[in-house]
Amino acid sequence: MPLLRRLCLLALLVALPAGAAELKIDLGHGAQTLESARLAARKDARQIDIPQDVAYHRPMRYLAVPLKALLAGATSADHLQFVASDGFAAEIPASLILDGHGAEAWLAVEDPASPWPALPGKSQGAGPFYVVWTRPEAGGVNPEQWPYQLAAIRRLDEVAARFPAMAPDASLPAGSPERRGFEVFQRICLACHTLNGQGDARLGPDLNIPYSPTEYLRADLLRAYVRDPQSLRRWPQAKMPGFDAKVLSDTDLDALLAYLRHMAGRKSGQ
């Protein structure tokens, strides 16, 4: 290696702040690792205000980079997975990020020298990387699509192709409640739960093995649990959030329960 190149590399390494974090991105055409200091130094990085932050439940300000600027080569047909260090794995269609119909995704970057505060009820903050949205209501962005403590972004096949044991019976008509419920399950539940032993997330229990919640909870109690888990089981350490009608409509909740009831008769992986 030429002397000048070695000196430049050494200067760069010395300049990296202690505790700098790395984000891995793999869109299928060459994995890359992005370091927090370099992200913060990008020309398109700027301060953004989030009036009602999903994780902190209050207004927050972040140094952030437009997320779509980091996804060169991604197309609207791509399916992306956002993996957090705690096992949360959010599935987000690339189309929502590339064209959110007014909603815009940002990668918030934590400064190691000035870390974000601890999350409510937790000992850690949302850093080192956090996907936040401006005007999320314009794109119908739900709380599960705000992954924090982000470690990796990767392009994957559709959920049904990766996890066939999750798919409802192929003979069901396209517009059936069970098929719609499978779509709701992917949007709301898959980030934390497995089903029939399949899935990447490891935060919550499997929703079909050994029993589906539809097998041991009355429908009214299950609805109440989805809307507000603490209304059914008081547990200060519980991680599951409630999903109100703004996030999960009554129609979608009906479809989700229809899917879970259907899958209770399609157990596998026991």
Claim to verify: residue 144 and residue 105 sit in the same structural domain: yes
Please say which residue of 95, 124, 156 terminates a domain: 156
User: pLDDT tens, 47-105?
Assistant: 999 999 999 999 999 999 999 999 999 999 999 999 999 888 899 999 999 998 899 99
Number of structural domains the chain divides into: 2
Claim to verify: residue 152 and residue 169 sit in the same structural domain: no
CB-hemisphere CA count at 13 Å for 220? 0
- Strand 32-35's sheet: what is its strand order? 32-35, 22-26, 150-156, 79-84, 89-93
pLDDT for 195: 96
Please say which residue of 122, 156, 190 terminates a domain: 156
Residue 241 lies in a domain: yes
Q: How many residues belong to the chain? A: 270
pLDDT band at 200 (very low <50, low <70, confident <90, very high): confident
Claim to verify: residue 152 and residue 185 sit in the same structural domain: no
pTM for the whole thing? Answer: 0.80
CATH of the domain at 62: 3.90.420.10
Domain that holds residue 200: 160-264
Claim to verify: residue 225 and residue 140 sit in the same structural domain: no
Residue 130 pLDDT exceeds 80: yes
Claim to verify: residue 147 and residue 27 sit in the same structural domain: yes
pLDDT for 98: 94
Please say which residue of 113, 135, 156 terminates a domain: 156
